[in-house]
Structure formats: structure tokens, C-alpha cells
Structure 1
């Protein structure tokens, strides 16, 4: 396992079809979101040498299917798994996930901190068209890993919460030209580009340049649309913008791609 002051992170899946991220320390193992089938998540965990039996806590960000698809299935299959979400998310996803034991159901309000094992998890509200969406900054000793997708804007308050983290998973959902020239309806395009939609590649790059600092060593580019983006385009856009602003891409920090159904290696944060 890890030395005491580090976290290990694997982005199990990130994209418009499903999302899940695994974080571990010596004492705690956390899954953030379960937006694929239970069988698929079990397979992704196995691909990094872990099982769902290893997981202590499941944190849910919001009720959209690509984030909560197998929450109920995993809770019933693994009765020791503690599930955390805020009240708005619990109310919105309850009719869709089936019965979850009251012993497993935990409230996690936005703007609060809960200590899970040796990880302090800080929740923060985001701007998305869901009941009460929130994401998480996970703190372990002097290390922090931030997950931020599914937001149409990033406020000064959000930036304050997530600044100078050691690692990030940040949304690069769409390329604006691909979205505008694609086959999505005008109303859907407007929803995606709105303040309650998703960050574009350019938005993601700008957010990262606003919040990253000397501690930042690993950046995952996530939640990429399968229709309105390409992995190479997202990476090139972010890397080019950073290089144009004298950020040491590949030297001072790693810029890492994610996949819709393939886990990243376990990265030491």
C-alpha cells in the first residue's frame, strides 16, 4: 500500500457515458461516483488490482445517470459500503437507484468537511442542471486531490476551495466548434454551453491556469464528450494554452488523458 503521507488515484472512467474515480490511502478507500454498471465498475477495479470489497465509502456528486447508475446495486451488493450524498441528490436519485439500507445512507451537505478514515473530504457546490450538484476536494496530510466536472462555470469561491491542489480531475467536456457544427439541437447546445452546463476544453484550461500552483503535479482531463470532443483535441488545446502562458507541461506537471471505459494507472499523489 501507500506510504503514510500519499494518496493513490485511478480515474476508472470519465466521460459522458459514465464516471467513477478511485482514491486510496493506508486507512481509507473511496469511490467517487458510480456511473457505469456494477459489473463494469467491478471489472475496472480489478484492472488496477483492487476490488469493491476494498472500498469503504462511495461519494455521489449528483443524480445524473452517468454518475449514479450503479449506486444502489453496489450498496446492496456490498453492505459494508457507506454511501454519501447531499439531501437534494438523495431525494432526486432515490426513485432511480432502488432500496439502500439506512445504515449505509449518509448525508454530506455542500460546503462541509467529513473525515473518512485518514482523508478529510471537503464538498463544494457547482453550477449544473441537477438537483444539488457538488464535487469534492480530498485532503490527506499535506496532499490534496480535487475532482471538478459537470459545472458550467467556476466561481471565485470554488477556485478558493480548490486552489494549488497536488492533483486534479478537471472537465474538458467539449470543443466549442465541434459542438456548434455537430448534430445536437440548438437548445441542447445552449444547455451544454450555459452556466449550468459543462466546461469546454478552453474553459478547462483557463480554470486550471487560475487554480494550479507549485504543488500541482498531476492533472487528469475528464468528462470528455463522445460526440463533441476528441482526446487528442482536448489534450492539444489545454497543453497549447498552458505552454503559451509559460506553464511547464510535461516538466513541472503531467497532463493525463482519461478514457470512458478504461482505468488509468494508480497514480501516487
Structure 2
């Protein structure tokens, strides 16, 4: 199984996940050109993609979706609420209805040799979800754009080989930064985004001996730094109520505008 972040951040998100037989994208919040360049960096092309799964309808997750769909005719999987919201987003342009396929939280979808299970997340969007992806005995999860998490979230993230987890902002940078007060409130709300500290606390609940990769994603361009996200999450893990230290695991930070390492597991 393989996973690679083509872009992850407040300005655009697109994640590749695949196996020897199946190639998928999760979100398309960057241009079709950047998607193609990202895939080319590990010898794939857009024509290899068999489906795009969308987490929610915010622009940083769907801005390139229309071009990708029209150019490649690739099927789009999203919740019914998200599909309605995409159709009402004029910037995406017209996408043929035949390309949309509804998914439902906690119901698995089979694409090739991969199983994709959406799970509900708390965010200010129509019907947002994260995704757990399974191929045989291996699995990965994509969990970003979450204002909070619950035991339900933890269950869907347990026992993964690889986890891409939101570490959006540093609370102090956000509080002292130039964002208007209502936007600060939105980001820190239960329907906003996970802080570095919250990301580390969630991570403490899903660590296990066979976790191979942890990727911190969806960093804010204004209210975070990669090194700060990394250090804060690592501190939470090492100080947390769990038997592990941060250096027991490979922890990396996904680039906001750069293609990450192709992780194979």
C-alpha cells in the first residue's frame, strides 16, 4: 500500500493512496496541473486515478475537482451533503451528474482491491468525513479539518499502518495573530481545526507498536510552522499517558505546497 501528500494545508489539499492495482485521490484542492506534476514525481499520471474521494466542499479541498473530473472523467465519491454543496459551488464549474457517487459514514466502498470507509468528523461543512483506507492487512487514515474528536474518531484511527493527522495551528499564534476575531473563534471551535496540542493528544490515543508512519497535515500558513507543529506534537506524545516516546515513530510534516515522500507499507 502507498500514500503520498501532494499538498496539505490551508491553501490546498490532495492526497494519493494506492496499491499495486488501485490508485485513488483524496480531495482535489490544487490545480489539475499540480496534481499531474505531483503524480508524475513518482511515475504515475492522472489517467491512473480510478476515483476521487472528497472530504468536504471547502475550496482548499475541491478547487481543482471540476477540471480533474471533466478532463479525466474520474468518478467522484462524497457524502450526499457534500455532493449538493459541490454542485452549488460555481467556481468548480459543471460536473456531469453521472460522475458523482454518494458515500455514507461507516459504510465501506470497494474500489479495486481497496476498501474505503468514511467516518464523520466535526467541521463547519455540509456533511464532512475523514477516510480510512484498507488494502488487505494494511490500512491508512486521513483525518483533517476536525474541530474536535471523540471516542468514535479514535476507533476509526486505531491500528492503522499510516496516519495523516491534522495539526493546523498553534493556539498562541492564532490568538495573537492578525485574523479577525470571528475567524479565530471559528478555527478554535468544535467545528474548526485541531491545534498542535490537540493533535498530539489524539495521537496518544491511537499509537501502537505497528504504526509505521505519522504525517502531520493541514498546517495553517498564518498560524503555524512545520517545526513548531512537529515539536509540539512530539512533546505531547512523549509527555502523554502512553507507553511510547515520540522518537519511537517516524513523524513528518506534510508540505503545504510540496509533494511529500511516497510512503510504502
TM-score by length of 1: 0.94
Among 29, 40, 61, which residue is 1:35 paired with?
A: 29
Alignment of 1:73-112 (within 5 A): 73-79=67-73, 81-96=74-89, 97-112=92-107
Name the SS for the 2:95 alignment partner: coil
Report the Cα offset of residue 9 of structure 1: 0.8
Map 1:3-42; keep pairs closer than 5 Å.
7-42=1-36
In structure 1, C-alpha distance between the alignment counterparts of 2:160 and 2:207, rounded to whole Å: 7
- How many pairs align? 261
1:189-246 CA-partner distances (Å, limit 9, x unpaired): 1110000000000000000111122221100000000000000100011112222345
Provide the secondary structure at the position in 2 that maps to 1:206: helix
Contact 1:127 1:153 in 2 (8 A): yes
- Aligned equivalents of 2:37, 2:264: Cα separation in 1: 21
The C-alpha deviation readout for 1:142-178, integer Å capped at 9, x for no partner, is 1110000001011111211221211100000000000
Q: Give me the whole-angstrom Cα distance separating, in 1, the residues matched to 2:173 and 2:42.
A: 33
Q: Distance in 2 between matches of 1:262 and 1:49?
A: 16
Unpaired stretches in structure 1, ≥5 consecutive residues? 1-6
Alpha-carbon offset, residue 32 of structure 1: 0.2
Match in the other structure for 2:139: 144
2:65 aligned with 1:71: yes
Post-superposition CA distance 1:10-38 (Å, at most 9, x none): 11100000000001102110000000111
TM-fit CA distance, 1:100: 2.0
Who is 2:160 aligned against?
165
Q: Please, what is the CA RMSD of the aligned residues?
A: 1.2
CA distance in 2, matches of 1:45, 1:253: 26
Report how far residue 265 of structure 1 moved.
Answer: 1.5
The answer to whether the 8 A contact 2:122-2:191 is kept is yes
SS in structure 2 opposite 1:103? helix
Distance 1:77 1:172 in 2: 33
**What is the alpha-carbon distance in structure 2 between the residues aligned to residue 197 and residue 239 of structure 1?**
22
